[in-house]
Chains A and B, each alone.
Chain A
Amino acid sequence: MGWRNEEDERRSPSSSPLVNDALLLTTMCIIGLSVDVHIKDGSIYSGIFHTACVDDRYAIVLKQARMIKKGSCDSNVANEGVIGTLIIQSEDLVQVVAKRVVLPADGFAGHETGDDTGAVACSFPSNGTQLTEGNKTMSTKSNVDQPQANQTKCLSGTDNGFPTHSTNNTLEVNKNADAKVSTKKEEALKDSDDNRKKKSYQSNGVKTNNQKESIMSSSSSPTETITSKIPNSNQTAKEFKLNPGAKIFSPSFPNKRSATPPVIPTGANLAYVQDGYPAVQVAAPPPEVEISPYAPRSLPVKFFPYGGNGGGDVQQHHPPPIVGYMTNRGQPVRYSNQYQTTPTYVQPATQNVMVGRFGPVVYVHPVSQDVVPSTTGFSQVNTCSILTPHQVHVPKHQGSAAAQALQLCATPPFISAAGGGGGQTPFMLPGHHIPISQPPYPIIRPMPLPGSNAFLVSKFS
């Protein structure tokens, strides 16, 4: 018996049950199944496997048990009635036969019901310790482990599928999922979370890096769970939020934003956006060094509308547009500065941006106006091409949005002139612009205007 004591001592620190893991797993697997239990005296009881005592010896409890074979011992209950709960002591137990069981091996998913909560890894001894470990390391690790965590998350699909015996990464994910689940229950909490996220993004505004963003957001987020969540959110948030159906899109919204700036993940962006706005494609290509300021700025602006339009998720996406506005309002000044500082060749990029703007709606204006002054200041050739779309564009939104944008972005005099011309009185524009800009400019400019004006008149009249 020496080995047993040894064994006990070895196992006790991890506070695990004394039976081995595989037996425990098998036991769990046959819970709720109809089993035949052979007893020492030869009788057989059939019942539903309810539970087993694994602390000391292996005793089991059956529900709705019925004797299907009478044993040699007369004292045993032998009537044909059903025993509600039958406890079979370890000493009496000979054999448990469970028919047609699927063991959760070979990647069999034991969590098919897809409930939100309560998915529990079958209790392997290491679990508890690992979990705590995951807790401790989470905040530090999360950035590093991001990709792996994402992968495992994808594998598990829903929140409740925990890989039981897992690495720290997966455990982190689990932990996250747990936290998520708990937060999910309160919509309000969640919303506030999202808001927080948005705020953090908003404050990040110009951030061009995934990592920067995650760092920022994590630092700004108040609690640990959120900290752990946000870093992962780039990819995993999607899965997290899959459960509350309406929120499917919101995760993709941070995705887009975070993904776009660093140029590389543009492909992913496109996949997400899908809505077919040329904007993203156009905007993404100009990832030159100078353009980086544009990219973060312009893209966020665009993405808000996307979320709203494409997602069609009302609750979640109303806030984002607002944020979009806010950023726009806040940013024009900043951007105009950037623009002014940026050299001439930025404008090709701005061109693209402009075109991109073209599709999305209101938010474009501040930017475009920024561009206009700079272009007017620098190169005429570019501006010409820019202006045409610009003017066509502006009239569309003229009534409400353009005016708004104008007020916001009226920083440089140029803007007021150009934008004012585009937005308010197109007919007057030629007059405005000709004095301001160089000869080639006005020549080309008036041309598009009448056309756009015609549209305008027809539209707004």
Chain B
Amino acid sequence: MAMDGSSGGEEFAVGCLLSIKTTFGDEFEGQVITYDRPSNIVVLQEGLKSNPQSRRNIRLLKANYIKEFSFLGQSDDPLDLKKCYLDLNSLQSKEDAAVRQAEIDVERIGVGVTAEAQSIFDALSKTLPVRWDKSVIVVMNEVRVSSPYLAESVTGGTPAANERVRKVLELERRRLQTRGSGQ
């Protein structure tokens, strides 16, 4: 069983347990679900030791990026094609939901801001409605926190709101600091 991925001439036996090292240095163990010759893709699943119904990582790996692998064992065909069926609707809704969620998440990610700014944003978002306006964090649609996101950089809004944002910002900064130092 000379499974030389780059040649593509040999099949990866379905059900094989392999330990694979890729040309990029990734190393993982997995079971071969299938090997597709035309595209030269090996489909592997990780986490074999867990319960078969549980969720596993799945890798679609171009076989020609396999640097080396070792054969660990053989087990049954992981996929029973006769039992497999999919619901396109649920797939579609799953994707839609994922895309929507991603868009929401994207809103939360500042463009061109530092990681610190993002963590401040995330921290503020736990207690206050926030959004990004370029690199400025807008709190409650009125108070603006611009770089470097210190208490002094809080501007706008009613005095009460401004004061409140300052307080929360200081608190969150302190918390972030302690967390950072703790690590």
Q: Do A and B come from one complex?
A: yes
Interface residues of A (CB under 8 A from B): 3-4, 7-8, 18-23, 25-34, 38, 42, 47-50, 54, 56-58, 63-64, 79-82, 90, 93-108, 110-113, 115, 117-122, 124, 160-166
Contacts of B85 in A (CB 8 A): 104, 110-111, 121-122, 161-164
Query: A122 vs B83: C-alpha distance in the bound complex, in angstroms?
Result: 11
CB distance from B50 to the nearest CB of A (A): 11
Contacts of B41 in A (CB 8 A): 19, 23, 58
Q: Does B1 interact with chain A (Cβ within 8 Å)?
A: no
Query: A124 vs B81: C-alpha distance in the bound complex, in angstroms?
Result: 9
Contact B39 A90 (CB under 8 A): yes
Contact A100 B82 (CB under 8 A): no
Q: Does B129 interact with chain A (Cβ within 8 Å)?
A: no
Extra inter-chain contacts (20) besides given A27-B60, A94-B22, A104-B86, CB under 8 Å: A22-B14, A22-B81, A23-B34, A26-B34, A29-B58, A31-B95, A32-B97, A33-B94, A38-B22, A63-B102, A95-B26, A95-B61, A96-B60, A98-B57, A98-B60, A99-B57, A106-B83, A107-B83, A121-B86, A164-B81
Given contacts A23-B43, A93-B62, A94-B65, contact A113 B79 (CB under 8 A): no
Chain B interface size range: 35 or more
Given contacts A25-B81, A98-B58, contact A161 B95 (CB under 8 A): no
Contacts of A33 in B (CB 8 A): 94, 98
Contacts of B182 in A (CB 8 A): none
Question: Shortest 6 CB-CB distances between A and B: which pairs?
Answer: A32-B95, A22-B34, A58-B39, A64-B102, A100-B55, A32-B94
Contacts of B99 in A (CB 8 A): 32, 48, 63-64
CB distance from B38 to the nearest CB of A (A): 5
Interface residues of B (CB under 8 A from A): 9, 14, 22, 24, 26, 33-39, 41, 43, 45, 52-62, 65, 78-99, 102-103, 106, 109, 111-112
Contacts of A121 in B (CB 8 A): 85-86
Contacts of A166 in B (CB 8 A): 82
CB distance from B21 to the nearest CB of A (A): 12
Q: List 6 A-B contacts (CB under 8 A).
A: A19-B41, A48-B102, A94-B61, A99-B55, A105-B84, A115-B90
CB distance from A451 to the nearest CB of B (A): 64
Contact B86 A25 (CB under 8 A): yes
